[in-house]
Amino acid sequence: MSHFQLQQASHEPVVLQEVPFYKPAGNECTLFEVAYRQQLPLLIKGPTGCGKTRFIAHMAARLGRPLYTVSCHDDMTAADLTGRYLLKGGETVWVDGPLTQAVRTGGICYLDEIVEARKDVTVVLHPLTDDRRILPLERTGEILKAPDGFMLVVSYNPGYQNILKSLKPSTRQRFVSISFDFAPLEAEVEIVSSESGLPVAQCVPLVNLGKRLRALKEVDLEEVVSTRLLVYCAILIKNGLDPFQAAETALVEPLCDDLDVKEGLLELIRATYG
């Protein structure tokens, strides 16, 4: 799907050979660059699959910084970010976590879906999000000072916020923030076509279908059709799959198990592709 190459190992930065394609929706690229130059931590908010991760990869490549991406989850500990002692060759050695590596190398550390992490994990971030810009490592006795090139970026999907999974106001106020949403029709068509290789003319009905399916979110669906799923559907169509079957496979089955709801979604697809 991607027309750029990635090189990645465990807890190693992603090295982008070229700048990943990204279609700006507003002035978010300028805002990111200003935040980076002024050493401000950044919070990105938006629905699943709207382009948050691609935007971060695009900006890291534009700025020439290594990117360390962490997908947060409720079993993640502070040590998963900072590092821990491990046995290697009969010796106990300290191994940096991705956050520590990013601080040491002056890279961009991106914590995806930060609200999924345990509350104690976010406490580790606090010294990096104020004017100190430090990372204390209690296990090694080090206090790392973040270099100019280091940037902390976190993201989450506000649609999943609840009492148990939300950022504390004291944490949110440590970040400047940008809100994301799905791109307008023409821009999303360009994105889907660019990522899948499907001609623009064939992407137009597909993206229109996606927008109609999104209108059902408050009625029948917990989650909406993402741009990512539209790209997957376009890839299936480009590779010879019937559009109706491609849409069922990429747009309906991933989002719903209820037979009645699925039939309603399939009716919309039939109306689009006949």
Pairwise pLDDT comparison (217 vs 116), residue with the higher score: 116
pTM metric for this prediction? 0.86
Structure tokens at 191: 């994105």
Q: From CA 232, how far away is CA 248, in angstroms rounded?
A: 11
CA dihedral 102, 104, 107, 109 (to 10 degrees): 20
* CA atoms within 13 A of residue 30's CA, in its CB half-sphere: 3
Instruction: Round the average pLDDT of the chain to a whole number and report it.
Output: 89
Of 12-16, 51-55, 131-135, 170-174, which gets the smallest average pLDDT?
12-16
Residue 158's pLDDT is what? 84
Q: From CA 263, how far away is CA 226, in angstroms rounded?
A: 20
Examine the pLDDT at 236 and tell me if it is beyond 90. yes
Residue 10's pLDDT is what? 37
Of 55-64, 77-86, 221-230, 237-246, which gets the smallest average pLDDT?
221-230
Average the pLDDT over 62-91 and give the result. Answer: 93
Examine the pLDDT at 63 and tell me if it is beyond 90. yes
Chain segment 81-112, per-residue pLDDT in tens: 999 999 988 899 999 999 999 999 999 999 99
CA dihedral 125, 129, 130, 136 (to 10 degrees): 30
CB-CB contact of 103 with 128 (8 Å): yes
